[in-house]
Amino acid sequence: MPFYSGNELATVYEDALEHGFGLVASNIAEPNIMMGLIEGADRKNSDLLIQLSAGASRFAGFGDPVAGLKSMGTYIQTIAEQYDIGVFLNMDHQTDLEFIEKQVELGIPSSIMIDASHEPFEKNVKRSQRAVELAEQSDEEILIEAELGQIKGAEDNIESARAFYTDPELAVEFVDRTGCDLLAISVGTQHGVAKGKDLELRPDLAGEIRDTLRDHGLDVPLVLHGSSGVQPEQLQQMLTRGICKINKDTRYQYEYTRTAYDLYRENDRAIVPPSPAQADRGTFFNDTDWSPDKDVFDPRVNGRNIRERIADVHAQLTEVAGSAGRSRFGQ
């Protein structure tokens, strides 16, 4: 297995539920973000849940999501073996059951999120049930996360113009009928760029969902999507109410681009000639005395900066979420 399996991941969630902390599930789109995440988690002795969306898989596979999953899976496994923490992979916001079936067949992910939340309730149940069946029929140990309710905003071509909060009683029926291992709920967060001060968060609803599920013998971990703009104090309120998986994507995307921007803005004359007339890239500036500075434009310079910044951000998030110092697999 390229990563620890769903069985080991389930034990991390059990710890999180018992001790009131969360695992920050972090999306990647390219290797520098992934390497920064592993470094940040290792620095804080926190287990790490990396996430790949279908879009990220297609991007990594030059249009072929299966090739992307295989290539990124091998890459993550190779790097993770250098560290003494638990590393897991979740396939985030999956809508294509055929692709999910292939993921299960390959046995690469630790968990898969089937997202049929944009469908009517019965169709959501049916598609989520099928994802659970695919996992149960295989020899692989893969957890299935499903979603009930809709989160405002757009994520990987799934878009909702408004939020539809999760109903606690429907959550009981949904979990009971689908058999999902984790439940993503809608309690006021938002996909994409959002500020915590503008969100109408409902930690009370998260607690009601958890209590209602428990009253029916369904103590499944709850998942908070769209949390990039959620502030630390807001997040900690959620963690006391059954949330133990917190998704982050937009924050890392911003940090990636901002880090590159800062480097190139501060060193613009090392990359762009002083006069537009001298900007003949076709001859690599053969007709001017100016030359670009490879100590700045070498992609590895920016890549190292990005890894360091992502590591710092993720390390801080493990402190906020409470997973720092709690790796079940660290030495």
Q: Which residues are catalytic?
A: 92
How many residues comprise the chain? 331
H-type helices in 223-298, by residue range? 232-239, 250-266, 294-297
With a CB cutoff of 8 Å and minimum separation 6, the contacts of 238 are 22, 187, 201, 203, 206, 224, 230, 246
From CA 185, how far away is CA 200, in angstroms rounded?
14
For residue 109 the two structure tokens come to 């992910």
* Cα gap 206→211, rounded to integer Å: 9
Distance (Å, whole) CA 100 – CA 112? 8
- Give me the residue label for tokens 């190779």: 78
